[in-house]
């Protein structure tokens, strides 16, 4: 771990999670820092103006502002099109959309960009916890890692599940996806980033088994991880409240970003 003084913070994406992280940092954690953002939406113009935030249209504009740290909250597309330029320019980047790393080519490109710029790509645990125990157990060998994600049916609106299931008509827990973490991360990029955190801490994207469930019996986003290996067995269970502004996102995901930045505890991945 290492620490760094942060005077200027850039945010990629001013959606529900980006706004919440920004407001928390401004009001509670880094009140003396300056803030800027990249967001093409019309709504972001008024938000930025009301909150005294510099708003840019692209990576070059934000880089010219000279941020000390950039936080990605905009989805996989931003990881592909914006994050590499930040890393190459020597700017540390926290990414929320870690499911993008299921793309091995992209993961290698990000590693190369970080090495070229002498920057750090920082992955947060997001909506899941307890992964330090799995990383420790990995040294002795892991035989099986299974992740199950349960959310209310309406939380899967706007995902491929909406095309395959009548979400409004689901009355019993229904599996909407079963496969690997790699498949889940690519098919459900806005909902299943936690699977990437599990995969990266354990047996990798291709060996981690994932089940996603539309469950009308739960009102929270429930994450379960079961691990078996030479060490024994491990179980992780969390029930997270969703963000009030976005039921697809666990509140803990935003909080994990806030903690990483406010404490300036930056875990180097590459």
Q: What is the pLDDT of residue 270?
A: 39
Please give the residue that has the higher pLDDT: either 261 or 173: 173
Which DSSP state fits 241?
A: P
Residue carrying structure tokens 């889940």: 184
Out of 29, 76, 81, 223, which one is annotated catalytic? 223
Residue 249: pLDDT over 70:
yes
CATH at 181? 3.30.360.10
pLDDT band at 65 (very low <50, low <70, confident <90, very high): very high
State pLDDT tens for residues 129-187: 788 899 999 999 999 999 999 999 998 999 999 999 999 999 999 999 999 999 998 88
Residue 76 bears catalytic tag? no
Instruction: Examine the domain organization and report whether 41 and 60 are in the same domain.
Output: yes
* H-assigned helices in the chain: 16-24, 42-51, 59-64, 76-81, 83-88, 104-117, 131-138, 161-164, 181-187, 193-201, 251-262
pLDDT band at 267 (very low <50, low <70, confident <90, very high): very low
What is d(CA 270, CA 82) in angstroms, rounded to the nearest whole number? 17
pLDDT band at 241 (very low <50, low <70, confident <90, very high): confident
Q: Note whether residue 269 is domain-resident.
A: no
Instruction: Examine the domain organization and report whether 103 and 15 are in the same domain.
Output: yes
* 184: containing domain: 131-249
Instruction: Examine the domain organization and report whether 169 and 199 are in the same domain.
Output: yes
Q: Phi and psi at residue 55, in whole multiples of 5°?
A: -120, 130
State the total domains in the chain. Answer: 2
> CB under 8 Å to 270, separation ≥6 — which residues?
110, 111, 114, 115, 120, 121
Q: What is the pLDDT of residue 6?
A: 82
């Amino acid at each position: 771990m290492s620490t760094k003084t942060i005077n200027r913070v850039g945010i990629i994406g001013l959606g529900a999670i980006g706004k919440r992280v920004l407001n928390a940092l401004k009001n509670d954690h880094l009140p003396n820092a300056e803030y800027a953002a990249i967001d093409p939406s019309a709504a972001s113009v008024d938000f930025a103006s009301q909150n005294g935030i510099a708003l840019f249209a692209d990576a070059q504009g934000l880089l010219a502002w000279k941020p000390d740290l950039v936080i990605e909250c905009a989805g996989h597309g931003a990881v592909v099109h914006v994050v590499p330029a930040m890393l190459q320019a020597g700017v540390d980047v926290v990414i929320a959309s870690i499911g993008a790393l299921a793309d091995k080519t992209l993961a290698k490109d990000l590693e190369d960009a970080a090495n070229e710029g002498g920057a750090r790509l920082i992955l947060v645990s997001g909506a899941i916890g307890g992964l330090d125990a799995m990383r420790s157990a990995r040294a002795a060998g892991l035989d099986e890692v299974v992740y199950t994600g349960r959310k209310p049916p309406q939380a899967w609106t706007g995902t491929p599940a909406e095309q395959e299931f009548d979400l409004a008509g689901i009355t019993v827990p229904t599996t909407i996806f079963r496969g690997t973490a790699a498949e889940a991360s690519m098919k459900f990029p806005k909902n299943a980033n936690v699977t990437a955190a599990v995969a990266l801490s354990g047996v990798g994207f291709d060996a981690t088994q994932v089940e996603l469930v539309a469950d009308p019996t739960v009102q929270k986003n429930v994450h379960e991880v079961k691990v078996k290996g030479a060490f024994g067995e491990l179980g992780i269970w969390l029930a997270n409240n969703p963000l009030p502004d976005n039921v697809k996102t666990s509140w803990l995901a935003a909080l994990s970003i806030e903690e990483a930045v406010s404490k300036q505890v930056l875990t180097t991945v590459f």
